[in-house]
Amino acid sequence: MKIYPTITTLVDYNQKIEEVKALRLEKVCVFFTGLNFKERKDLVVKLKTTSIKEIPFAHIRGDMTIEELNFLIENYHTQRFNIHTEKDYPLKYSYSKYRDKIYIENVHHILDENEIRKWAGICLDLSHLENERLMNPHIYKANLEIIKRNKIGCNHISAARDYTRINEKGEKRYDDHFAKDVSDFDYLKKYNRSLFSDFCAMELNNSIEFQLKAINYIMNE
């Protein structure tokens, strides 16, 4: 199992860029989730100023062009991509060229096995899975059965705590993209090693420094 720090973009990512430079990190995942086309171009310019040589895994959006995916593969040797389901975010472009590199993420509903089989498999977000275990056992059980039948090619690792938060939709949730302490990853101990791939990305808005601390904690617990 390999866990990578991640530049997430749902919050200002510039401090993470500076941390990557200071730490001279060469392998970092990038989640383009929060950026439009122009903003993604700006991020790519900034990535070029860092020590990053490889982006093993990228979270892409349905409005990213095939040229953007080509760029990541050709310049940063990206081996895995994940997208949300088309039910949640319809695709603007065809990604059939890279169907063997793209994985569908579990979010807040029962996975569509027919959709998964159009792609390479599942991107398993462990914190979403934990949230459904606690809040929606029927979704949790159904998804576990689907997960057993399909390849897990990559993972998101976020925080999950023993109390709920209220998200922007007014929903109670246990999963969170901001961790308060490394103990927020203790829930991972519940899950079998078979649910973890070799492409695990920290999906956290926390600093790169905290992410590295959390990775060390997870790998040594």
Residues 25-73: tens digit of each pLDDT: 999 999 999 999 999 999 999 999 999 999 999 999 999 999 999 999 9
Indicate the pLDDT class of residue 169, thresholds 50, 70 and 90. Answer: confident
Model confidence, pTM: 0.95
Q: Smallest Cα–Cα separation from 123: which of 156, 90, 79, 99? A: 156
Q: Smallest Cα–Cα separation from 57: which of 159, 155, 179, 178? A: 155
Domains, the chain: 3-220 (3.20.20)
Answer for the pair 107, 84: CB distance below 8 angstroms, yes or no: yes
Q: Smallest Cα–Cα separation from 5: which of 214, 221, 153, 176? A: 214
Please identify which residue in the block is written with the tokens 């926390």.
Answer: 206
Q: Smallest Cα–Cα separation from 106: which of 154, 168, 60? A: 154
Confidence check: pLDDT of 132 > 90 = yes
Q: How far is C-alpha 18 from the geometric centre of its chain's CA atoms?
A: 21
Q: Flag the least confident range among 59-68, 84-93, 118-127, 143-152.
A: 84-93
Q: How far is C-alpha 99 from the geometric centre of its chain's CA atoms?
A: 17
